[in-house]
Chain A
């Protein structure tokens, strides 16, 4: 643990770590001194933990389920080396008691070290959210060898589009809830420099949100690529929308099949997508692109946040591990009305969303179907789960069309 932090503190740039020492005089201001600090540094506290403990009686999110007064008292005096505190990490869960469609996580990480410093709360949250994955004893497999994927081409009479997304964070820079403007700009610079090195069918252009022309903006909207300032209070309460649109932007390749969001909910969100059902090609491009970007940032002395306990580190604990959501927009008019639909999805380890994404309901009979899991399974395993699962759903739909009965499949994993 100490080695990890030491490496970050002596990182690529000349970053000054300062500490603030307060004083009692009403009118005195305080100068920040330069000092190296270690994880678990002290935090300013005026009240005892019991007076600051949030009222979570009406709350239903993972943070609220696991934040006992004892854990709060233990962690509230600590901060990460970047000064990020427990109160900041849980603010979004305090401000958002519940969500109509899903049990939300209710907390975020401000930096890589959050997952260590606040492990007493994050580990049980991770365990609940990721189906029993225990960060203290288990290791996460990373596998971006897309050649291992079997039969990834869907029947295009049903599957309208295929998409794989993940996120990546740049080690040594704070995450969106906590980053300063300069850190955010640094993320943009590092990633855009790397992306400029992509070639062939991956070659593309960056569009900064601050500088895009009206014409570029309209094109990005028409392509359904443009992301806007988040409106979901789940996100805004965590502080990740500060200074919008400074250092935010969209990069995509010329063929519009590989897209990267910079500084939205994570440092980067990487998306490979196409119309139609060729998930194999989507996943091939995804893996090739990711590995190429990683190589390019490593040339400049940077790396992604990753460890074998938690896989790829992202802002939301729900995206740890692979951070991967592989999905399709699929038309299932008969199956979606069958009362067994939900159970079938559960057993296949799949999730349904509306075609507008996570906070939407389906329109008509076209659903967004994707993997439920993120952590504890590799990228190849998760995409395979989606391929096998969606093929099964299509088989069910075909059977129902012919008036035949369908079966609920056995659970694919415990």
Chain B
């Protein structure tokens, strides 16, 4: 029998039969559409998380967006931490498919010790234009962006800004709330390529995470502009460490130091990040579970990118290519964004190591191709 929580109130939901409600996914190609059956839907639609998030909330973005030209999208989101438990029957197979066979019984390793990274400070800056590591964090006890109320979103902002304001040294910085920013501040943030705007991607809009924009949203960055935090965009927090050039080691050092400090600050306030030993860090999109980490470079590989084996090499190195505008863009002029393809089932250190080693190899291959030499003897084994 269910326990009754005196904070909870009743929601009334009128429903017709589950057969009548089942979405038409015949034109769809995303992870949710591959997995969701009538039987599963019938079972799951009688449930809700303690915060009232339902199966229809989880899958709406996948129904509204049948497919994507460049990548196989997930097609569902979490509205709170409990979503991943309450709708396990749907999310576990999606996670397994998306994260390379990760099983419901598997355990995820977290390793944010930058000393464990080997090398990474010497990627050739003639090819590697910039280096960046990003992840996300969610604050336990608050609903996630698709489902949070305005009060919760403001609560996340307030807590995050308090924590960030107490950072010091080279992490010391300032918060710019989207709704209070002056024109001058806005222009500076645009020039620095820091400003994020209201999402236009229907993948994001359909999930409800852009409600009430720009209330509760903002950007924090340190004075040296190498550590940046987005508040209340697709996740509670997106944490980004970046700099020009190829010193990924330094980027990762700062990333780990900053994250660890922020986590300590939250613990001092009596809360923590959403994390568990099966899924690692819990974020809005199931594709970002585990480490939520994308470590990448902008690298000039015009010859390599035209080579017939380019895709094969990336696949073996467990790397992914994107345009320099990010996830929904194509590459311009031979410069690609190369990053780790995995998020879950590998630790942070392991993933950054893959990027460091992989990009080093790609640059070597590029240099060989420039000289008209073959790259056959450099072909890597599958990682």
Contacts and interface: CB of A to CB of B under 8 A. Distances in A.
A19 B50 contact: no
Q: Which bracket fits the contact residues of B?
A: 35 or more
Nearest to B150: A52
A18 B13 contact: yes
A171 interface: no
Interface string B42-54: 0000111111100
Nearest to B154: A51
A45 B9 contact: yes
A15 B13 contact: no
Interface stretch (B18-26, B71-79, B318-326, B366-374): B18-26
Given A31-B46, A79-B11, A236-B205, A47 B179 contact: no
A21 B10 contact: yes
B305 to A, nearest CB: 35
A41 B22 CA distance: 27
A200 interface: no
A185 B24 CA distance: 11
B150 A182 contact: no
Contacts of A237: 211
Interface in A27-56: 27-32, 37, 41-48, 51-55
A246 interface: yes
B21 A180 contact: yes
B64 A52 contact: no
B306 interface: no
Contacts of A295: none
A244 interface: yes
Given A52-B151, A180-B15, A210-B24, A30 B10 contact: no
Contacts of B56: 180
A55 B179 contact: yes
Contacts of A30: 2, 47-50
A116 interface: no
Contacts of B82: 26-27
Contacts of A26: 50, 81-82, 85
B7 interface: yes
B215 A23 contact: no
A32 B48 contact: yes
A351 interface: no
| Main SS class of interface, B | loop
Q: Which bracket fits the contact residues of A?
A: 35 or more
A210 B22 CA distance: 15
A32 B60 CA distance: 20
A47 B13 contact: no
A252 B12 CA distance: 37
B11 A54 contact: no
B197 to A, nearest CB: 14
A366 to B, nearest CB: 32
A28 B81 CA distance: 12
A128 interface: no
A254 B150 CA distance: 50
A274 interface: no
Nearest to A50: B151
A44 B12 CA distance: 10
Contacts of B215: 54-55, 94
Interface stretch (A80-88, A159-167, A280-288, A378-386): A80-88
A275 to B, nearest CB: 36
A94 B64 contact: no
A20 B212 contact: no
B2 A28 contact: yes
Given A22-B51, A29-B85, A31-B47, A37 B179 contact: no
Interface string A154-192: 000000000000000000001000001111011000000
Interface in A169-222: 174, 180-183, 185-186, 210
B308 interface: no
A82 B63 contact: no
Contact of B46 (A24, A32, A43): A32
21 contacts: A18-B12, A18-B13, A18-B15, A19-B10, A21-B2, A22-B9, A22-B50, A24-B5, A24-B8, A29-B48, A30-B49, A31-B47, A32-B46, A41-B11, A44-B9, A79-B12, A91-B212, A94-B215, A95-B212, A180-B15, A180-B56
**3 closest A-B pairs by CB:** A22-B8, A47-B151, A51-B151
Interface of B: 2-5, 7-17, 20-24, 46-52, 56, 60, 63-64, 81-82, 85-86, 149-152, 154-155, 179, 205-206, 210-213, 215
Given A23-B8, A52-B151, A242-B64, 5 more contacts: A23-B50, A26-B82, A30-B48, A43-B11, A83-B11
